[in-house]
């Protein structure tokens, strides 16, 4: 099994685990930070919390949509005359709609960041830097796992 296949299998496992946990309420490592974690208060905290909830809701919508699409694809591929072109067009339209929503949320988050005082911007950057470093460690661990399986 080559490295790409292992990474793909690992990402599918992570995605499946994420789908399996959607009904369980728990703190998720990949949820956006809370306003408290960012050190925000007042109107900034209120605005961030609203954007955070919208982000989580959009991610849940994307997960649900993906699961539905996978179920539909399974049924489609099991049929004798699958209309893969139609499925592909619908899936692309759905992905495009999710991207539009994600980009709008990103723009709102950047506008909020731009409105923060310099000290709070520094706090936000420090928190995000910490998260990026954690993701780099995860990526390195997955790459090491893929290398070890070859």
d(CA 8, CA 131): 22
Can you give the pTM of this predicted structure?
Answer: 0.72
Count of CB atoms situated within 10 Å of the CB of 93: 10
d(CA 52, CA 30): 12
Closest CA to 30 of 51, 9, 14: 14
d(CA 146, CA 47): 41
Closest CA to 65 of 109, 13, 22: 22
- pLDDT given at position 49: 96
Q: pLDDT (tens digit, 0 to 9) for every residue of the chain, 150 residues total?
A: 455 554 555 555 555 555 444 444 445 767 899 999 988 999 999 999 999 999 999 999 999 999 999 999 999 999 999 999 999 999 999 999 999 999 999 999 999 999 999 999 999 999 999 989 998 999 999 999 888 887
Give the CA distances from residue 57 to residues 32, 69, 117, 126, 138, in Å, rounded to whole numbers and listed in that order.
Answer: 11, 18, 28, 25, 24
- pLDDT given at position 25: 46
- pLDDT given at position 26: 46
* Max CA distance (Å), the chain: 62
């Amino acid at each position: 099994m080559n490295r790409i296949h292992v990474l793909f299998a690992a990402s599918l496992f992570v995605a499946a685990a994420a789908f399996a946990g959607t009904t369980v309420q728990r703190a998720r490592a990949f949820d956006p930070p809370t306003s408290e974690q960012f050190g925000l208060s007042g109107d900034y905290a209120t605005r961030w919390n609203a954007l955070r909830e919208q982000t989580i809701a959009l991610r849940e919508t994307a997960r649900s949509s993906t699961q539905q699409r996978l179920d539909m694809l399974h049924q489609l591929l099991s049929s004798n005359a699958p209309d893969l072109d139609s499925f592909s067009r619908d899936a692309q339209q759905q992905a495009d709609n999710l991207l539009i929503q994600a980009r709008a949320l990103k723009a709102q988050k950047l506008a909020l960041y731009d409105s923060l005082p310099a000290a709070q911007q520094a706090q936000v950057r420090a928190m995000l830097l910490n998260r990026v470093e954690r993701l780099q460690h995860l990526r390195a661990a997955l790459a090491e796992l893929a290398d070890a399986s070859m």
